[in-house]
Structure 1
Amino acid sequence: MSVSVAVAGASGYAGGELLRLLSAHPEFEIVTVTAHQNAGQPLSAVHPHLVSLRHLVLQETTAAVLSGADVVFLALPHGASGAITAHLPDDVLVIDCGADHRLTDPDAWAAFYGGEYHGAWTYGMPELLLAGGGTQRANLVGATRIAVPGCNVTAITLGLVPGIAAGVIAPDDLVSVLAVGPSGAGRSLRTDLLAAELLGSASAYQVGGIHRHTPEIVQNLAAAGGANPTISFTPVLVPMARGILATSTAKLVGDPKAVREVWESAYADEPFMHLLPAGVFPKSADTIGANTVQIGLAVDERAGRVVVVSALDNLVKGTAGAAIQSANLALGLPETLGLPLDGVAP
């Protein structure tokens, strides 16, 4: 089986990570790469580390250019995917790494993004526990249109949903603070992302419930069975190129001794979810380059809260790895095919 692949937005960080992972995938062949400002340049001019793909040239991002592939991955800014996806053939598997097709509620899209609403696609988080039983994985098999989750969303959702689904934490009064690397903001030139601004500093942003990932997190918690979930989450930009460390807390419901068993049971058979031993908590660096989420768990009995610390690579499990994992499922391939379990250290 050889599946031809096109990657739109290939000059960015997410596009580059898609290409790095796809280049090692035994069933995928990258035939087309596209960009906007960098169209016409060799891929090696923007991603010199992708030596095996140095023969490729960046083309213009149009539906006509992309339509020749069996699978199209879109790594475009929010608002840019919808106009292209509307013109791609129905028999092409399209996987959007942007936000355009994640939200099921048009009002939530209008409130947090604005612009035209392009509808919700099959959600690309296989491990998401669903209130009716099972996981989102079953819905991805055979799907032709897939929306990849946001990276902050993945860290928070996969950290909290076992407790929500089992009813050992309350779905309201959830709080999460995330240390995040600037690659999650894309490759565009911004003053706040310059090394002189980042090094030796940490800064909170999108504070007070205004971050665009908020409705997506609430959507996931509700899908897992949370009644009227509420969450306050604050991302903090820190001087590491990539990675997320999310510390989430929730009100404990019931017996504190039952908490750990809930997470153990939920993720026992999940290849990319790793619950660490009691008293051990992840570092963001432990997941760099890997399609994994590492989770540390504690119960603060004095405060009556459960503390979940989750770490992932925002460009792998947070974006490109999740996209390929979903593509594998959609095409009937082994879910783990071509995806690294081991990180890079130091």
Structure 2
Amino acid sequence: MGTRVAVAGASGYAGGELLRLVAAHPEFEVVAVTAHGQVGSRLGDVHPNLRSLADLVFAETTADVLADADLAFLALPHGASAGLAAAVPASTRLVDLGSDHRLVDPAAHERYYGGEHATPWTYGLPELPGQRASIAASDRVANTGCHAVAAILAIAPLVAAGLAEPDDVVVTSASGTSGAGRAAAVHLLGSEVMGDLTAYKVGAHRHVPEIKQASGATSLTFVPVLAPMPRGILSSVALRSAGGASADDARDALAETYRDEPFVHVLPAGQQPRTSATAGSNCAHLQVVTDADSGRLIVTSALDNLGKGAAGQALQNANIMLGLPETAGLSIDGLAP
């Protein structure tokens, strides 16, 4: 018998992707799935793609259900994780895909989220310096936000190397509709999103403090865009060059930072990241050029918002927490077409 795994919020898109990955994991066994509105339903009726787990039945999301597992993933809306996690015994390791435990600064939490600020957990982005060791030593890990990881991977190495100014960063990030969750909403209907791009939460998006906290940026303009595709994120990150740094300098810094990383790939010069190339994988693809007019460094970053932006990242963190091979159950190859 392998590691006993529970997934809370398993009826949503991120929860369903978690189950797909966990079901194929060589060391994991799914012992509980929980939901809110789908309690009592067969998993196969909600996620018909998950045939190997189809006969599991959604239970109510309680600490008692999760306590029976060695590891639990919390794929819950903002504000729903903290109280539940506090009641789960320390013997059950937790990875929270929500935002409750990401922010260190209570003032930033109050400004962007409101409500009570929960105790911050270890931040779950292994590619940051020193973070892999912190995750390995933790029983509670806060998974990254989807837009956040695409931006952080692009910004952090360049700010750390002194190649980009931290006080002038502009990010435009387009995301597929699965990032908005599975709840029925008029603005997410096929007839509404097809053939349309819509900016949302402009000027005060909740990922801003997370990106600043993890990337070293001190001033950030962030414009998220809803794109007519089911999954994927493409971020365009514009940074003011420091000390005359060129795109070659920036590319060398990114390549050196991620040289030994299995899931972050700096593409060959001239090749731009595409969301389709990362679909179904746990990978992020990066490229950097110099803007011919402004001289800014422009880093483009693509990933699957349900993969490296959510479920894949969570599984990567869980592998590290449990001392398993970091790539177990995860693919570096995307789906095509």
Selected match of 2:302 from 311, 314, 335:
311
Report the counterpart of residue 277 of structure 1 in structure 2: 268
Structure 1's unaligned 5+ residue stretches are 129-133
Partner of 1:151: 146
Equivalence map 1:53-132=2 (5 Å): 53-128=53-128
Is the Cα contact below 8 Å between 1:142 and 1:332 reproduced in 2? no
Contact 1:142 1:331 in 2 (8 A): no
**Correspondence 1:142 to 2:133:** no
Aligned position for 1:252? 241
Partner residue in 1 for 2:220: 231
Listed one character per residue, the Cα deviations across residues 168-220 of structure 1 (whole Å, up to 9, x for unaligned) are 01111100111111100110111111111101111111112x10111101101
Extract unaligned runs of 5+ from structure 2.
none
Aligned mate of 1:338, from 318, 329, 332:
329
Q: Give how far 1:142 is off.
A: 2.6
Amino acid at match of 2:9: G
CA distance in 2 between partners of 1:108 and 1:33 (Å): 33
Q: Distance in 1 between matches of 2:72 and 2:180?
A: 22
User: Residue 29 of structure 1 aligns to a residue in which SS?
Assistant: strand
SS in 1 for 2:78: coil
Alpha-carbon distance between aligned partners in 1 of 2:293 and 2:113, rounded to the nearest angstrom:
39
Other-structure match for 2:213? 219
TM-superposed CA distance for 1:326, in Å, is 0.5
Q: Secondary structure at the match of 1:160?
A: helix
1:62 Cα offset (Å): 0.5
Q: Could you say which residue in structure 1 is the equivalent of 2:253?
A: 262
Distance in 2, Cα, partners of 1:118 & 1:88:
15
Q: Residue 313 of structure 2 aligns with which residue?
A: 322
Amino acid at match of 1:306: L
- Give the drift of 1:114: 1.2
Number of residue pairs matched by the alignment:
335
Which position in structure 2 is the counterpart of 1:48?
48
Q: Deviations over 1:139-171 (max 9, x none)?
A: 111310000010000010001111011110111
Calculate percent identity across the aligned residue pairs.
52
SS at match of 2:30: strand
TM-score using structure 2 length: 0.97
The answer for the alignment partner of 1:176 in structure 2 is 171
In the TM superposition, residue 301 of structure 1 has moved relative to its aligned partner by 5.1
What is the CA-CA distance between 1:329 and the residue it aligns to? 0.6
* CA deviation map 1:26-52 (0-9, x unaligned): 001000000011000000111010000
Q: Distance in 1 between matches of 2:139 and 2:36?
A: 25
Query: Which residue of the partner structure matches residue 190 of structure 2?
Result: 195
1:162 aligns with 2:153: no
Deviations 1:111-130 (A, max 9, x none): 111112211001110002xx
Question: For 1:173, what is the secondary structure of its paired residue?
Answer: strand
Q: How far apart are the structure 2 equivalents of 1:301 and 1:91?
A: 55
Find the aligned partners of 2:112 and 2:174 in 1 and give their Cα distance: 22
Return 69-78 or 299-308, whichever deviates more. 299-308
